[in-house]
A and B are shown apart, each in its own frame.
Chain A
Amino acid sequence: MKEAYIVSSVRTPGCRRGKGAFGQTRPEELLVQALNGVMERAGVGKEAVEDVMTGCAFPEAEQGLNIGRVAAQMAKFPDSACGATVNRFCSAGLEAISLQAMRIKAGWCEVAIGSGLESMSIVPMGGNMPRPHPEWAKECPDVYMSMGVTAENVATRYKVTREMQDEFAYHSHMKAANATKNGLFKEIVPTQAARYVEKGSTWVKETFTQTFDDGVRDTTTIEGLAKLRPVFSATGSVTAGNSSQTTDGAAATLLMSGDAVKKYGVKPIAKVIAYAVAGCRADEMGVGPAYAVPKALAMAGLKVEDIGLWELNEAFASQCIYAMQQLGLYDKKELWVSDSDKRIININGGAIALGHPLGCTGAKLCAQLMTGMQEKGAKYGVESMCIGGGMGAAAIFELCE
């Protein structure tokens, strides 16, 4: 098999659903700017790209009609650049990158973009018209279960306490606040957005540039988090504070074969060396990474200790903690707390602080991981997440010398 190289990987800021900066910006416009950004950073002309694949968890309405193709056209890629939409919920963006990597590895393609997009403001989680199958919903509705309830199940079944979850959430915000303050999110492309404002009796479209993630709360305290009420269960431990934020955002990664890297004279960042998905019970979907990561590591012939940098999606503190426990990482607090120099897990915070724009997340974490691996010189980086319906996904990247 050939190698698949990541040449460039970028993201828009992640902004809070509704009142956040992208609340009224069409999703296509977010994706177009991520696509433009990744091409500009790579310094390669758009005519090189054969295909744009976009991960999206609710590819309907404004995100529908094959957003991959629509956005490529809006970004002025030539007609020859194809487009597709892929969906594996929260790993959709990583799925798009992996599919492109596989096509390159198989020799079916030389240059391609894997991307991700979600405007949770505009297309709600669950979609505009959720329609569970009536008979199946009676027989076994688990596959339709609210993500929050699955997080509660993980917390109760595996004894992840409220205190553990709140502490984890606190560190996520602190790490993200530090990264924002120090400009560590080098993968962010400044993104044009618009908001509609009523002035007198008319509505005016105001445009502005957004450069940072707007959900980070640098003033959060563990005591403050402890005061929040559980939202998915009357007696539960999962709160708005220790869950990921619902967010808008887009991200894109340009991949090339070895031949293409030479042809265009670019310096690749990393190789995609493994991608695995693993299934689990739908009513505790958060445990997915605990199965997917070992599967991917086995594929690559690596061990947990070999990994220099981790991006474990913080869908919920409960599930992320459980996955870390299973990988033997949670008890080594120095690997993840905000005040440790040795940290290698979610070093700049995770979705609890930075947001989890569903279908975009896989592509977004890749961009963050690429920045981090280059910064730290980490040889191997892993990105993983849990997936609604009962799955986990994990990918391993190897830094190019």
Chain B
Amino acid sequence: MQRRIRKVAVIGSGIMGGGIAALLAGAGVEVLLLDIVPFDLTDDQKKDPKARNRMVQAGFDAALKSKPPLFYDKKNDAPMISIGNLDDDFNKLADCDWIIEVVVENLKIKQQLFKRIEGVRKAGSIVSSNTSGIPLKDMSADLNKEMRQHFLGTHFFNPVRYMHLLELIPGEETLPEVLDFVANYGEVMLGKGIVWAKDTPNFIGNRIGIHGIGKAMQIMLEDGLTIPEVDAIFGAPMGRPKTAIFKTSDLVGLDTMSHVSSNTYDLCVDDEERDTFIVPDFVKKMVENKQLGNKTKGGFYKKELTPDWKWLRKVIDPKTGEYVDLDKPTFPCLDAAKQCATTAEKLQTIVYGDDKGAKFAWKVAAAAAIYSANRIPEISDTIVEIDNAMKWGYNFEMGPFETWDAIGVEKSVAKMEADGMAVPANVKKMLASGATAFYKLENGKKMFFDFASNGYKPMQTSEKAIVLADLRAAGKVVKSVPSCSLIDLGDGVYCIEFHSKMNALNGEMLDFMKEAGEYVKENGVGMVIGNQAGGMPGAFSAGGDLSYMLGLAKAGKFDEIDTFIKGVHEGIMGTKYAPYPVVAAPYGLALGGGCEICLSADRIVAHADLFMGLVEIGAGLVPGGGGMIHLWRNFIESKPGVGKITDLAGFFIQAFMSVAQAKVSSSAADARNNGFLRPTDRIVANKDNLIGEAKKEVLKMVDDGYAPPRKTKTAVFGREALGMIWAEMLNMKSGGYITPHMEFIAKKIAVCMAGGDVPQGTLVSEEHLMTLEREAFVDLWRTENTQKMAENIMKTGKPLFL
């Protein structure tokens, strides 16, 4: 029988339940969100359905309001969710294909709930718990066999939409068919990275994660470091998120963190590092004082408003428990790491340094490595699961074993032994076998070291999950320049991969794209434009490198800017009209030039978390790579040919505002709603599969019979748009809503998008529109204000409104 998920019940409407409900709604599933009837109702309220649903309504409303948004597409996804309470709506669980429990972490409550579910659920339905700490076997012991066969742990991470990790915990009797199904569903429909965990306390991510936090605090107190010092080390320099250790704790909440910690202490009696899970006294005191982090507007860090309205950043001094002024600490090892190109080099520089910070970093990193290795096979069978859990659930750039590889296993083990640390037996055994790294490439295939068999095994990955770094290591790079490469994806499909800072576009890339295009024309069937930069959300391409043009502008070489933009247009249009299909695979930030590259592709295969927009106005410019042309075409051409648009303004105003206000989408669904994605463009839930899906799309287009787009003319709004915009600009100017140069740029945008001074409905060529775009672009560079704005955004990353 084909298993399908059409309706899911999520029981518990807290931050996790709400997030899971929003994610499922985004996958197009009907969701029933339930919570308890409040205990404190009056007799009258007990009869009022609204009062009875007060808890769940509050949870649902919080999910709707959350920032960053939990919903991909609030307008269309939220109606997929219906709410109810556990007294009046419990029987509705009988219709559900999957029931997810996300209630309070209390074994007794969970046991009672599952017993009730047992009574109403339909046979064959999946039941899972999102518990982060309670053993599944204790929850399911009293349930009937059929239910135990359909019971598992599905542990999502907060915020659900953005955290890639989904830990799946099989029960002893869970049917393999059920496990396979949930894993595939989680990967394809919910976009998650699946990690198989065992039924041990706090599973993988939180067990390793909380140990790392506990250890860092312990050593910090022993060695007398400050909180900002610890965060300066264990942030970006070590390949960790910017929130490092203590800001992450503020984000999670000190209460939650302490709970996970003491839960581990209580349940893991044999853990060799059990002491690490004792919450330090100064943290205990903070929890008592309700200094819980961001949710109480003050945790380890706090912002205070001074009498003269300035924000003062403060931090807890663990010794006194008082807030003190925050300074920006550094260590020689961190200064040295700044000069390193790769994270691996940075890691080596830091952990093998000899200042106080470096010694701290070494102790904590070594402890994490040892602890992780000792957890196999206790919490996981392989190192891969642990590395993935930390990358996907804690946003580490590298997991503990990848980090270990980066600092050199032999070298670090020698240092551990010299320092009197207990090196895990399995690692010693690995080194004894002659293997010196946890991961290696063999014939282009990525292998990991398997402790159980004391040898390498190939990584199990989905066929769609193409990893460009692996292809690169396997020698699949066809051509390369410092900022850009052409990689052979197989089957005649080639990928243009950007790898500049934030993947910002530059002249070198544009030249390279022409060259790569020639290569694909000769040797391939199609092209993917995609990359896999790290970070959350990461940057497909965050814009264009302005320094080159700013230099030209300052030297008064406007003719050269004109020539440069001509080249950009040739490149963009060359790709657009190439005799092979081009599919762009954007994710995360796709701004300015990065957005324009996508808009000119035959098709876009986008990750669901897409932040796309034409934001050039913030740099004092109009989009110069055909972005306005293609956005307008998306608007005006997504209708049946026989449909007549009487009111072009209804389309023009929205398209114009997108560019003039530098609107950025909040998701791929939002980008579709804003006209950036066309009906034929696809949205992929799983970022790991993006390049693979884009490749599939290329092959399908080839298979279907590909012909490049025809060069057709476009209807424009013309002079009528100019009348409207000029009149409206007077209102905005009078109201003080627009600064003079912004008004100047907005009017340029209007001219470009309206097709200039022609009657409305005139059919104009792309060449006409490109000329307008180029003129506007060069005109703006001629102004001192645009030069100032461009310079400011390059220096500060923030727009200057002139």
**Which stretch in B127-135, B481-489, B694-702, B720-728 binds the other chain?**
B720-728
Interface string of B189-204 (1 = CB under 8 A from A): 0000000000000000
B734 in contact with A133 (CB, 8 Å): no
Q: With A152-B734, A233-B734, A233-B735 known to touch, is A137 a contact of B726 (CB < 8 Å)?
A: yes
A145 in contact with B647 (CB, 8 Å): no
In the bound complex, residues from chain A placing their C-beta under 8 Å from that of B744 are none
Give Cα A112 to B720, complex, Å. Answer: 40
In the bound complex, residues from chain B placing their C-beta under 8 Å from that of A45 are none
Q: With A129-B647, A233-B736 known to touch, is A142 a contact of B722 (CB < 8 Å)?
A: no
> Which of B647, B727, B729, B757 is packed against the most chain A CB atoms within 10 Å?
B727
Q: Of B727, B734, B735, which contacts A132 at CB under 8 A?
A: B727
Q: With A129-B649, A141-B727 known to touch, is A134 a contact of B734 (CB < 8 Å)?
A: no
CB interface residues, B 231-253, toward A, < 8 Å: none
In the bound complex, residues from chain B placing their C-beta under 8 Å from that of A138 are 722, 726
A137 in contact with B647 (CB, 8 Å): no
B757 in contact with A145 (CB, 8 Å): no
Give Cα A144 to B734, complex, Å. Answer: 13
Give Cα A132 to B196, complex, Å. Answer: 64
Cβ of A153 within 8 Å of any chain B Cβ, yes or no, is yes
Give Cα A130 to B717, complex, Å. Answer: 13
Cβ of A232 within 8 Å of any chain B Cβ, yes or no, is yes
Q: Which residue of chain B has the shortest Cβ distance to A142 in the bound complex? A: B730
Interface string of B727-752 (1 = CB under 8 A from A): 10111001111000000000000000
In the bound complex, residues from chain A placing their C-beta under 8 Å from that of B730 are 141-142, 144-145, 149
In the bound complex, residues from chain B placing their C-beta under 8 Å from that of A131 are 720, 723-724
In the bound complex, residues from chain B placing their C-beta under 8 Å from that of A236 are 735-736
Q: With A129-B647, A129-B649, A131-B720 known to touch, is A137 a contact of B736 (CB < 8 Å)?
A: no
B735 in contact with A134 (CB, 8 Å): no
Shortest distance from the beta carbon of B51 to any chain A beta carbon, whole Å: 25
B727 in contact with A149 (CB, 8 Å): no
In the bound complex, residues from chain A placing their C-beta under 8 Å from that of B649 are 129-130
A137 in contact with B735 (CB, 8 Å): no
Q: Of B646, B723, B734, which contacts A149 at CB under 8 A?
A: B734
In the bound complex, residues from chain B placing their C-beta under 8 Å from that of A134 are 719-720, 722-723, 726, 757
Cβ of A146 within 8 Å of any chain B Cβ, yes or no, is yes
Shortest distance from the beta carbon of A135 to any chain B beta carbon, whole Å: 8
In the bound complex, residues from chain B placing their C-beta under 8 Å from that of A234 are 735-737
Interface string of A139-180 (1 = CB under 8 A from B): 001101110110011000000000000000000000000000
Interface string of A106-145 (1 = CB under 8 A from B): 0000000000000000000000111111101110011011
Shortest distance from the beta carbon of A58 to any chain B beta carbon, whole Å: 15
CB interface residues, B 101-151, toward A, < 8 Å: none
Give Cα A141 to B736, complex, Å. Answer: 17
In the bound complex, residues from chain A placing their C-beta under 8 Å from that of B646 are 129
Cβ of A219 within 8 Å of any chain B Cβ, yes or no, is no
A132 in contact with B736 (CB, 8 Å): no
In the bound complex, residues from chain B placing their C-beta under 8 Å from that of A145 are 727, 730-731, 734
> Which of A131, A134, A146, A234 is packed against the most chain B CB atoms within 10 Å?
A134
Cβ of A235 within 8 Å of any chain B Cβ, yes or no, is yes
Give Cα A129 to B646, complex, Å. Answer: 9
Given A138-B722, A234-B737, 19 other A-B residues pairs in contact with their CB atoms under 8 A: A129-B649, A130-B649, A131-B724, A132-B726, A133-B723, A134-B722, A134-B726, A137-B724, A144-B727, A145-B730, A145-B734, A146-B734, A149-B731, A149-B734, A152-B734, A153-B734, A232-B731, A234-B735, A236-B735
A-B CB proximity, top 8 nearest: A132-B723, A144-B727, A233-B735, A137-B726, A134-B723, A132-B727, A134-B719, A234-B736
Interface residues of A (CB under 8 A from B): 128-134, 136-138, 141-142, 144-146, 148-149, 152-153, 232-236
13 contacts between A and B (CB under 8 A): A134-B722, A134-B757, A138-B722, A142-B730, A144-B730, A146-B731, A149-B730, A149-B735, A153-B734, A233-B735, A233-B737, A234-B735, A236-B735
